[in-house]
Amino acid sequence: MTAFAPANIALIKYWGKRNNELNLPVTSSLSLSLDKGTHTTVKFATEDAVWLNGNRLGPDDAFTKRLLTFCDRFRDKNCPLHIETVNEIPTAAGFASSSSGFAALVLALNELFGWNHDRKTLSILARLGSGSASRSLYSGFVEWHAGVRDDGLDSYSEPLNIEWPELQIGLVMISDKQKPIDSRMAMRRTVETSTLYKAWPEQVAKDLALMKEALNSKNFTLLGQTAETNALAMHATMAASVPSILYWQPETVATMHKIWQLRNKEGLNIYFTMDAGPNIKLLYEKKDSAAVAELFNLA
Ligand code: DP6
């Protein structure tokens, strides 16, 4: 059984959990799915085997363990699986491939085991693999509701049904190296040690309202400004962790300055967002695509 799920980029970030086992978030979040994502094939087999981008991974590989531990939630003891994952975007470099990875895996398992679950249930199951995966069950703009229940049954994603084809996301690759600390550990450390974290839910509530206003009125400037502010607030919050977490490389900072220079001095209406890695995602409108492609090396 083969399934595809798109990667998604959060415009309003998920950062911090109220339950680490179930990936229940402290706040709601909002994302836009990309065209690219993950293709996953799952078959019954005689022994467990995990393939990533054409290479068979060892049983002790972290990716193998994460995938198989996830499958253990759903299978009997004697049910080996052959899992093949192909990512169209770099794995674990803050390009959101875990989001599409677990969503595609859940879709493939839904077929293989004949669950016939609806999207809401699949979104809840994908969340158990990786929080952001709950948003990758849909294309377009998606909101993941934080929910309040301890069992997480009200913590799932929904599409917003907003069409905005002029809005573009460009990936500026700064480094495709594995990040020094994964988002899971980083968000845990932020919640436990950053004195700025108590301001984060308030920041998200404000930004989420502004983002919905921007989407409903197709106000690109409001969308860009809100996404950029939200991403920088997330990074500031994690920088205040002990020990500090800073994903930025010198080139990340140089790219931010370049964006601000172009926007403030040269009138190019571009903004950025960033996740748990050094790479930058540009937000711009279709009419500026040629200018952006000339100015940045897009992945
Ligand atoms: C910065 O979904 O990878 O990309 O739930 O622990 O698997 P886990 O975390 P993950 O975190 C994503 C964090 C982010 C922001 C976002 O996508 O909302």
Q: What is the mean pLDDT of residues 65-78?
A: 94
Sorted by sequence, the CB contacts under 8 Å of residue 142 that are 6+ apart come out as: 8, 30, 31, 32, 33, 135, 157, 158, 159, 160
Please report which confidence band the pLDDT of residue 96 belongs to, taking 50, 70 and 90 as the band edges: low
CA 130 – ligand 1 centroid, Å: 7
pLDDT exceeds 60 at position 188: yes
pLDDT category at 98 given cuts 50, 70, 90 is confident
Two tokens, residue 101: 């990875």
Examine the pLDDT at 235 and tell me if it is beyond 70: yes
254 Cα–ligand 1 center, Å: 25
pLDDT of residue 148: 98
pLDDT tops 70 at residue 91: no
Task: Report residue 177's pLDDT band, with 50, 70 and 90 as the boundaries.
Answer: confident
Strand partners, 170: 282
Which runs of E-coded beta strand occur in the chain? 2-12, 17-19, 24-25, 29-44, 49-52, 55-57, 81-87, 141-144, 157-159, 167-172, 271-273, 280-285
Quick check: 97 pLDDT over 80?
no
How far is ligand 1, taken at its centre, from the CA of residue 7, in Å? 12
| Ligand 1 center from residue 15 Cα (angstroms) | 7
pLDDT in tens, 9-24: 999 999 999 999 999 9
- The answer to whether residues 210 and 222 touch, using CB atoms and an 8 Å cutoff, is yes
Average pLDDT over residues 268-276: 96
When the pLDDT of each residue in the chain is averaged and rounded to a whole number, the result is 95
If we measure between CA atoms, which residue out of 139, 180, 132, 172 comes closest to residue 34? 139
* CA dist., res. 148 & res. 18, Å (int): 10
Predicted confidence at residue 103, as pLDDT, reads 97
Angle at 246 between CA 244 and CA 249, to 5 degrees: 150
Q: How far is the CA of 78 from the centre of ligand 1 (A)?
A: 32
Q: Which of 105, 144, 183, 247 to mutate to test the pocket of ligand 1 (most atoms within 8 A of CB)?
A: 183
Question: What integer pLDDT is reported at residue 9 of this predicted model?
Answer: 95
Rounded-to-integer distance, Cα 182 and Cα 32, Å:
22
Among 53-67, 93-107, 174-188, the range scoring the smallest mean pLDDT is: 93-107
The predicted pLDDT at position 159 comes to 98
Ligand 1 atom having least distance to the Cα of 130: 7
Strands in 271-273's sheet, in edge-to-edge order, are: 167-172, 280-285, 271-273
Distance CA 29, CA 14 (A): 5
Mean pLDDT of the region 175-191? 89
Closest ligand 1 atom to Cα of 127 = 5
Residue range 21-38: average pLDDT?
96
The two structure tokens encoding residue 284: 């711009």
Q: Whose CA is nearest to atom 1 of ligand 1?
A: 275
Residue 178: the pLDDT is 72
Cβ distance 144 to 23 under 8 Å? no
Residue 176 has pLDDT above 90, yes or no: no
pLDDT at 258 (0 to 100): 98
With a Cβ cut-off of 6 Å, ligand 1 is lined by 10, 13-14, 23, 29, 96, 98, 130-132, 183-184, 275-276
pLDDT value of residue 212: 98
Residue-level length of the chain: 299
